Chain A
Amino acid sequence: MDFVNKLFKGFKPTGSCCGKKGGEIRGNLSKIAIVGSPNVGKSVMFNRLTGAYVTVSNYPGTTVEVARGKTRIGDRELEVIDTPGMYSLLPITEEERVARNILIEEKPDIIIHIVDAKNLERMLPLTLQLIEAKLKVVLVLNIIDEAEKIGMKINSQHLEKDLKVPVVSTVSTTGRGIDILKGRIEEYVRNM
């Protein structure tokens, strides 16, 4: 019964924060972690990649628990982890601490760093920190349609050259750019 589960959940240590969907996934699947500031579309991207559903809202801080799911990229199955929003590797709030612990404890093979393209400048420092941490990062310029709408143009090849990581433009709510993103992840996976 749900109530009994809840009761037990209350006594588990907080470290065993199992997500709402998917439950525990065993085995040695490669892991993809989705990270980024609050409200940039991490959960929508998670839904896109896994086909599962986690609540999506237009305000920061919707995801406080960690959700997990699976995705198929090329011929391989990967585990996808949706994390609460983080601004920096130096956490201030509990949710940021939860997100960082995933990076440290679970050692994901690939990090998808999602940024709001309009606010690239403010969000890029986290990309720099992730690269600095020697994690395999893919930078996703999400909500690119809103950036284009206000007349902003970003040269992603230029960014790739400077950062030396793949850069993909997407609109996660409509699905634009998702195939390209999957392609870039596949390249990474093949070299793993």
Chain B
Amino acid sequence: MSETCKYPGDILENSLEKIENLLGADHGISKRSIGLLLLQEDEEIMSLVKSSEAESFAQIMEIVNHAKTHFQEPLSYIISQRRQEEASSIVSGAIEHLPKPGLPFKEKLSRVMINPVTGIPILLVILYCGIYKFVGEFGAGTVVDFIETDIFENHINPWITQVVSSIIPRHLFRELFVGEYGMITLGLRYAVALILPIVTTFFIAFAIIEDTGYLPRLALLIDRIFKKIGLTGRAVIPMVLGLGCDTMATMVTRTLPTKRERIIATILLALAIPCAAQLGVILSLLEGNSKGLWIWAGVVGLVFVLIGFLSSKVLPGDSPSFYMEIPPLRLPKLSNVFIKTYTRVKWYFMEIFPMFILASMMIWIGQITGLFSLLTKILEYPIRWIGLPDKTAVAFLFGFFRRDYGAGGLYDIKKAGLFTGNQLVVACVTLTLFLPCIAQFLMNVKERGWKTGVGISVFILLFSFTAGFIMNLILNILGISL
């Protein structure tokens, strides 16, 4: 039977034939394919064959090594070059008309996005309109205010408190549902009034941005900066996705080619990338305090670059090379944006809702047993070191559960007027850097293993408080009050 693709030099075809004759077991794909992968020294296939045909493996490797001596370039290069030639000759026979390469409008727009001089202003405009205006002001501002104040505080909370009071006379059990940390008054309110609008607006903005094909261009734009921190432009996608949900993004680090890059990206996601809910709450916390917002963004950005740079120095490995498919720019399809937002929001909500309710229950149990106040007392020490009011300890305790839940805690404290400007900014920075939520921790462990997963968490715990401490110190020494 004639083969579709013949390989150059009798030596390759001969070696292949010899290897094929030595192979016995069925590996799901043809012996010829296995032979070719062995010639290209694919590690997985090599160990597969080593275990399935132990006797002839040495002989096979001998053939491979012998074949290698006949070529200057690696065999994988020779083989793929030959295949590309074959493909090109088939295509040239089948293509009846090829367009002249020109520069249509889309292509011009694409270049403007990639060129740093024009690309960075475009990026800033997208961030300003998409994140600050739409997610921050509209989602976390207007919509949250409406649901939180008008619906929950004025209607649902008083009504449900009354209803529950008439059903459950005992104060202790009433607290579980409608107390300060009650399942309805706190858990449900955080999930529906705070997190839901923020996450929804973020996912809408994100779906539009991703469907246009902007992200790979952003990857090219900041590839050079990312190289300095041991990543390539490819890592832009998990990072931007992390602004939606860091847990989801940690899974997407699988698209990064080297283990080193995957570890750096996992650390940065856990440490310095706030998720949508957190980002939204922080934007609304610092609303009307633009100096504070800039300082928060500056410090978190600095930490991102610094830790990336340091870990790229510490972790062994070569600087990665960058190669990415650039899809054409397209107008987003409304139906796709809608269904994508819907599935993501649904997934996210299903994930957090039981957690929030569970958190209320655990706090309730903690309050009865006294564990809650003990933990809060312990946390109050580091909280005081970074110059925050004692009550913030509760928000950080929430933060152990989920970062967005913790940010929600800050939201309530600010509303009660307990923060000075400085304290607010320090609290926002510390909580942004603080431990990832439980789901992300489990994902880190799943993707990177126990040692790395736990190591990252311990490092982050120490680092976030140190950063808050230093920041508070600097603000005090310089006598800045925000």
List chain A positions with a Cβ less than 8 A from chain B. 1-3, 6-7, 9-11, 14, 37-39, 53, 55-61, 64-65, 84, 88-95, 97-98, 103-107, 120-121, 124-125, 127-129, 131-135, 146, 150-156, 158-159, 162-164, 173
Which residue on A lies nearest to B42, using beta carbons?
A90
Contact A104 to B336, CB < 8 A, known contacts A39-B325, A154-B94, A158-B94: no
Give the residue among B29, B256, B262, B340 with the most A Cβ atoms within 10 A. B29
In the complex, are the beta carbons of B97 and A153 less than 8 A apart?
yes
Task: Give complex CA distance A57, B244 in Å.
Answer: 15
In the complex, are the beta carbons of B91 and A124 less than 8 A apart?
yes
Tell me if B162 is interfacial: C-beta within 8 Å of chain A.
no
Tell me if B316 is interfacial: C-beta within 8 Å of chain A.
no
In the complex, are the beta carbons of A90 and B76 less than 8 A apart?
yes
Question: Across the interface, which residues of B come within 8 angstroms of A132, CB to CB?
Answer: 3-5, 30, 32-33, 36
Question: Across the interface, which residues of A come within 8 angstroms of B44, CB to CB?
Answer: 91, 97
Contact A59 to B91, CB < 8 A, known contacts A39-B327, A90-B37: no
Please name 6 pairs of A and B residues whose Cβ atoms are closer than 8 Å in the assembled complex, sorted by A.
A2-B354, A6-B439, A55-B344, A60-B255, A127-B87, A135-B29
A92, A107, A125: the one contacting B84 at CB < 8 Å is A125
Task: Give complex CA distance A120, B125 in Å.
Answer: 36
In the complex, are the beta carbons of B83 and A128 less than 8 A apart?
yes
Task: Give complex CA distance A37, B323 in Å.
Answer: 13
Task: Give complex CA distance A65, B255 in Å.
Answer: 11
Cβ of B23 to closest chain A Cβ, rounded Å: 13
Which residue on B lies nearest to A88, using beta carbons?
B80
Which residue on B lies nearest to A150, using beta carbons?
B99
Tell me if B378 is interfacial: C-beta within 8 Å of chain A.
no
Cβ of B362 to closest chain A Cβ, rounded Å: 12
In the complex, are the beta carbons of A59 and B210 less than 8 A apart?
yes
Tell me if B167 is interfacial: C-beta within 8 Å of chain A.
no
Question: Across the interface, which residues of B come within 8 angstroms of A94, CB to CB?
Answer: 254-256, 262
Task: Give complex CA distance A10, B84 in Å.
Answer: 41
In the complex, are the beta carbons of B340 and A55 less than 8 A apart?
yes
Question: Across the interface, which residues of A come within 8 angstroms of B93, CB to CB?
Answer: 158, 162
